[in-house]
């Protein structure tokens, strides 16, 4: 009886504190560096829709030790949308809910953590792939469609959740960095009228 009560209390604490097995993958604002995107005069940008096109949207991988799903704390589409918003905002653009000068829409084609066994450690490979469309909201035309992909590979212990998240964080960051340094995308943003 006493043990059961302790278990209930522990479960309640875990629920209240948000302790969960899901990965809190994200793109940290502190790491954003104003760059090429800031060379374009500030635009009012509507971000979205960001659509998760993956065939299995319920998970981002399988645990190497038991095959159970690896999940993210937030939907993958939200993670990607937030990353785009952070990058645009830190580069001086104003993100607006609707309208604006330009719309940045994205399809998430891949957001997955793979594992490959090895002696004593496991190799993790995180992949993020996006298709990004830039639309001139005033002119009503799509001015650019580009695909970006980021991959991160590292060895870690089989149950190293910190490594799982770092791998996915880095794969996402590499994807966004490719986007932020793409001269074609910067030119496209620059051609959109304000």
Partner 1 sequence: MVGLSACASAPPPPSVATPPSAPVSEVHRLAVVPSGESKLTVPGVSASDDVGNTVGRVFSDIAKWYPQAYLYQALAVLVQRGVDWIFQDKRSSAADQYARGITPSAVVADAFTRTLVASGRFDQVRTLQGEPVGDDRREADAVVRVLVPTWGIVRVRGGKPEMMAAYADVRAQVSVRPTSVITWEHDEDVTHGERLPAQAFTGDLQLARQALKDVLERAGQRLANELLYARGDQ
* Residues in touch with partner 1 (CB under 8 A): 10, 13-14, 17-19, 24, 26, 28, 30-36, 38-39, 64, 91, 114-118, 123, 125, 127, 129, 149, 151-154, 165-166, 169-170, 173-174, 177-178, 180-181, 183
Q: Strand, helix or coil at 69?
A: strand
Backbone angles phi, psi at 103, to 5 degrees: -120, 130
The residue among 23, 27, 28 whose CA lies nearest residue 60 is 23
Counting Cα atoms < 13 Å in the Cβ hemisphere of 84 gives: 27
- Closer residue to partner 1 (CB): 87 or 137: 87
- Min separation Cβ 97 and partner 1, Å: 26
Give just the sign of the alpha carbon dihedral 62, 82, 78, 54: negative
The residue among 111, 95, 11, 4 whose CA lies nearest residue 53 is 111
- Closer residue to partner 1 (CB): 102 or 185: 185
- Closer residue to partner 1 (CB): 97 or 183: 183
- Closer residue to partner 1 (CB): 44 or 153: 153
Q: Could you tell me how many residues make up the chain?
A: 194
- Closer residue to partner 1 (CB): 48 or 109: 109
* CA atoms of 75 and 25, how far apart (whole Å): 10
- Min separation Cβ 47 and partner 1, Å: 20
- Min separation Cβ 127 and partner 1, Å: 7
- Min separation Cβ 138 and partner 1, Å: 25
- Min separation Cβ 34 and partner 1, Å: 6
- Min separation Cβ 33 and partner 1, Å: 6
The residue among 30, 146, 167, 144 whose CA lies nearest residue 86 is 30
Radius of gyration over every alpha carbon of the chain, rounded to an integer in angstroms: 19
Cross-strand bridge partners of residue 141: 136
- Closer residue to partner 1 (CB): 1 or 30: 30
């Amino acid at each position: 009886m006493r043990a059961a009560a302790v278990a209930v209390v522990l479960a309640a604490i875990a629920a209240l504190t948000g302790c969960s097995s899901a990965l809190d993958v994200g793109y940290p604002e502190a790491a954003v560096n104003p760059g090429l995107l800031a060379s374009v005069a500030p635009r009012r940008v509507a971000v979205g829709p960001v659509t998760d096109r993956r065939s299995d949207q319920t998970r981002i991988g399988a645990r190497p030790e038991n095959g159970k799903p690896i999940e993210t704390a937030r939907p993958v589409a939200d993670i990607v949308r937030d990353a785009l918003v952070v990058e645009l905002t830190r580069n001086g653009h104003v993100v607006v809910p609707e309208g604006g000068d330009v719309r940045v829409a994205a399809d998430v084609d891949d957001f997955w953590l793979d594992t490959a066994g090895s002696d004593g450690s496991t190799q993790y490979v995180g992949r993020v792939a996006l298709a990004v469309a830039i639309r001139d909201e005033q002119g009503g035309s799509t001015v650019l469609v580009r695909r970006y992909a980021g991959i991160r590979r590292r060895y870690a212990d089989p149950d190293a959740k910190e490594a799982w998240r770092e791998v996915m964080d880095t794969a996402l960051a590499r994807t966004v960095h490719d986007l932020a340094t793409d001269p074609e995308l910067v030119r496209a943003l620059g051609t959109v009228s304000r």
